[in-house]
Amino acid sequence: MNIVTQIKAWQTIRKQFNTHSLGFIPTMGCLHEGHLSLVDRAKRENDRVVVSIFVNPTQFNQEQDFLSYPNTLEQDTQLLIERHVDYLFLPQASELYSDHYSIKISEETLSAELEGAHRPGHFTGMLTVVLKLLNLIQAHRAYFGEKDYQQLLLVKKMVEALFIPTDIMACDTCRAKNGLALSSRNTRLSPEQQQHAAHLFRLLNSELDINTLQAQLLELGFKIDYVEEKWQRRLAAVWLDGVRLIDNTKIR
């Protein structure tokens, strides 16, 4: 696996791929089986695969959340080597944001609700860095998990609106055996807390109405940001012992 840390170095490499299809998985590191499932699919569908790891400061609306985000680069690198990834792209914030974040990409309707309402500025930071990465990598396909469903919709909308020639591939949410959606934030939960957190998926996947579902989450000790039905999905964001969890299921 080739590790690339400079933007100009990547741009030179990218010129060599004119006859090869390229798959791309953007990540913030702390990789788990969910990320690796995206890698596996990208390898099946492309000649070359590149994974980026960049903890994007502009999409954190709380500085402490950014500062406490786990750094597991050595472990992540080994996992990607074992998956035979071709390139690991490790851009520096000073290069990605040489404009000091003075130029931003924002969306005004879809991003104003749910996650956007509870995390001001989050989606502007996310869309801005994803646009930069898509422009740099110039992949034929980019892979995003459905756990962050609103994010997926926004990325698709941006790609269509700005005529970006990369296909956005939606991938099923990977779950632990107990149903808990895999997430880097799960590392902040003890094994007992992870078992308790699995109640979120169980209730979302039930046939309970929204009001009953919310009441049961509260009884179980969750703090609720939202539980709503949109886009043929039932979506939720909750807190458990100071850790924020999001999930969604298809409406049956």
The string of pLDDT tens digits covering residues 128-174 is 999 999 999 999 999 999 999 999 999 999 999 999 999 999 999 99
Phi-psi region of 231 (alpha: psi -120 to 50; beta: other; left: phi over 0): left
35 is annotated as an active-site residue: yes
Query: Cβ distance 10 to 95 under 8 Å?
Result: no
- Single out the catalytic residue among 20, 32, 35, 122: 35
Asked if 91 and 151 sit in the same domain, the reply is yes
Per-residue pLDDT tens digits for 17-36: 877 899 999 999 999 999 99
Say if 178 falls within a structural domain. Answer: no
pTM: 0.95
Instruction: Tell me: do 191 and 159 sit in the same domain.
Output: no
Q: How does DSSP classify residue 6?
A: -
Structural tokens at position 89: 């792209």
Whether residues 109 and 25 fall in one domain: yes
What is the pLDDT of the chain when averaged over all its residues?
A: 96
Query: Is there a domain that residue 146 lies in?
Result: yes
pLDDT value of position 67: 83
What Rg, from alpha-carbon coordinates, does the chain have?
18
Query: pLDDT by residue (tens digit) across 222-235?
Result: 999 999 999 999 99
Interval 37-95: pLDDT, tens: 999 999 999 999 999 999 999 999 888 888 888 889 999 999 999 999 999 999 999 99
Write out the residue range of the structural domain in which residue 114 sits: 2-171
**What CATH code is carried by the domain that includes residue 162?**
3.40.50.620
pLDDT tens column, 187-219: 889 999 999 999 999 999 999 999 999 999 999
pLDDT reported for residue 252: 79
DSSP string, 106-131: --SSGGGSTHHHHSTTHHHHHHHHHH
